Amino acid sequence: MKIQVLHIEDCPNWQEAGDRVRLVLDSIGRGDVPVEFVLIRTEAEAVSSGFAGSPTILLDGQDLFPSQGNTADLACRVYLTERGIAGAPTVGQLERTLQEREALSGDRS
């Protein structure tokens, strides 16, 4: 399992997103999985990395919260949560999504 948080320098939400991912990994018994932070500096990096706005959370190269596609825009991303629009997914959303993906893949590596 490989987790990456893609972000731009000026995004105020990437650290919180990363903290939430770490919390969820620990809570589901996957504390061994590192969270890699990837700074997106150029439009070319955005296009080649699967970036869909900052923060984009990838699991094994796939967006955990697929949207209308990737973007070359170096911009913040919003997530639809139970409480409305937010700059990062909630702990509950991350937990559900990570558990679903892990169950589908059967991957414990």
Tens-digit pLDDT profile for residues 19-78: 999 999 999 999 999 999 999 999 999 999 999 999 999 999 999 999 876 778 899 999
Q: What does the buried/exposed string (b/e) look like for 43-57 if buried means 16 or more CB atoms within 10 Å of the residue's CB?
A: eebbeebbbbbbbbb
DSSP assignment of 38-63 equals: EE--SHHHHHHHT--SBSEEEETTEE
Confidence (pTM) = 0.91
- Look at strands 35-39 and 56-59 and give their pairing: unpaired
User: In order of start, what are the domains of the chain with their CATH numbers?
Assistant: 3-105 (3.40.30)
What's the number of CA atoms in the CB half-sphere (13 Å) around residue 28? 21
Q: Which helix (H) or strand (E) holds 20?
A: helix 14-27
